[in-house]
Structures are given as C-alpha cells and as structure tokens.
C-alpha cells in the first residue's frame, strides 16, 4: 500500500533522490561540509540507507561528479552546435560555456576537479569516461577547424589541451575565488572568457 511517498517503508527511488538532495546540500555548504547523515535526514531515511545505493561516501560523490561531467559535455556541445561551420566562434563559445558552467556551479566544479574524490590511480575508468567525452568534443572541433584551414597545423591533441587548460584554469581561478572583483558577475565572466580565448587564438606576441 502506498499512501503517500515517504510514509512507506521502501522509498521508491532513493538513488536519484539522494543524488538530487546531495547536490542541493553541496551547493549550500560546499563539498567539504557535506555529510551522509545529514543527507539521509534530508531524504527522510535512516542514516545507513544510502549504503544500499552507494558503496560509500566517495562513491556518492563520484556519482555526483559524473552528472557534472555529463552536463559539461552537454553544454559545451550545445554551445558548439550553435555556430556550426565557424570553428573559431565554436571554440570561443565552447570555452565560454565551460567557464559559465563553473560559475553557475562552483561547488560542483570543485567537487569535480578539486581532488575530493579518491580515484585510486589514474581515473581512466568510470568517472572520466564522461570527462573524456567533453574533451573529445573539443578534439573533434579542432580537428575540423584544422581541416578547414582555420587553425594551425599543430598536433590536434596539443591544440585541444592548450584550449582546455586555458578555460579550465580560468574556471578554477573563478570558482576558487582568486578573481574576486575581476570576475564576479556573469557578464564580466563572459567578457573575460572571450578576451582570454581571443588571446589564445591570436597569440600574445607582438608581430
């Protein structure tokens, strides 16, 4: 008998509920101050119920980071799609999307890249399969840009890595609070992202 959800012994879909509630908690209090017991209370279950769905706290955090990588892939892909056929603009918009996502979700971004999650050795397996997806989109974009003669004929992986480093660095500086006063508001961030990436395109050397 299912009177109202929450009154039954079995929750129904604790798994997704936990992830959603955890994201909320992390948004509020940061990835550090996040506790499984508080999460369980928020979800209305006993404090050991989450262990039926996640091996341990780390696994839950990894699942959340995974969703973060998914939306990162989505958003950057969408941004690129809107300027199909214009690789330069695509690259810029991809970067802007990357940085803007970080600005929108600073705590989740820290969770994704801040070393909160123990990924044994090199995270080539589960978690970073998604991170690789985002990177792969960048690689494809650059490859096609090279073939249409927009980008230099350097190793594609290198060009992609440079671009990734640039936007990732900007994103992490912002979420880490290092750019307070310079990049607080969304329009500041977009403006900065565009300028910085233009520099990467044009180079900073005088010619």
Partner DNA sequence: ACATCAATGTTGGCAGTGTATACATAGATG
Partner DNA sequence: CATCTATGTATACACTGCCAACATTGATGT
x/- track of binding to DNA for residues 44-83 (CB under 7 A): -xxxxx-xxx--xxx-------------------------
Residues binding a copy of itself (CB under 8 A): 30-32, 88, 106-107, 110, 113-116, 118-119, 121-124, 128, 131, 149-154, 157-159, 161-173, 175-182, 192, 195-196, 199-206
Residue of 173, 148, 143, 170 whose CA lies nearest to 158: 143
Q: Please tell me the distance from the alpha carbon of residue 70 to that of residue 112, in angstroms, as a whole number.
A: 11
Rg (CA), the chain: 20
Q: Please tell me the distance from the alpha carbon of residue 31 to that of residue 18, in angstroms, as a whole number.
A: 15
Residue 45 binding result from a copy of itself, DNA, none, given CB thresholds of 5 to 8 Å by partner type: DNA
User: Does 164 interact with DNA (rule: CB under 7 A)?
Assistant: no
Q: Please tell me the distance from the alpha carbon of residue 160 to that of residue 148, in angstroms, as a whole number.
A: 16
Nearer to a copy of itself, 44 or 123 (CB): 123
User: DSSP label at 131?
Assistant: H
User: Does 14 interact with DNA (rule: CB under 7 A)?
Assistant: yes
């Amino acid at each position: 008998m299912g009177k109202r959800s929450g009154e039954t012994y079995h929750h129904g879909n604790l798994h997704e509920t936990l992830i959603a509630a955890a994201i909320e908690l992390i948004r509020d209090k940061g990835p550090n101050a996040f506790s499984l017991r508080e999460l369980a209370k928020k979800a209305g279950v006993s404090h050991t119920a989450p262990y039926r769905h996640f091996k341990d706290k780390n696994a839950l955090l990894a699942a959340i980071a995974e969703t973060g990588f998914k939306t990162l892939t989505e958003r950057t892909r969408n941004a690129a799609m809107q300027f199909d056929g214009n690789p330069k603009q695509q690259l810029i918009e991809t970067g802007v999307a990357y940085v803007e996502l970080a600005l929108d979700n600073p705590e989740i971004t820290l969770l994704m890249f801040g070393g909160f999650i123990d990924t044994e050795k090199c995270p080539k397996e589960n978690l970073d399969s998604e991170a690789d997806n985002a990177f792969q989109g960048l690689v494809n974009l650059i490859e096609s840009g090279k073939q249409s003669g927009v980008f230099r004929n350097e190793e594609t992986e290198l060009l992609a890595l440079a671009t990734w480093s640039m936007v990732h660095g900007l994103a992490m500086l912002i979420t880490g609070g290092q750019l307070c006063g310079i990049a607080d508001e969304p329009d500041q961030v977009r403006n900065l992202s565009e300028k910085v990436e233009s520099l990467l395109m044009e180079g900073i050397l005088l010619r």
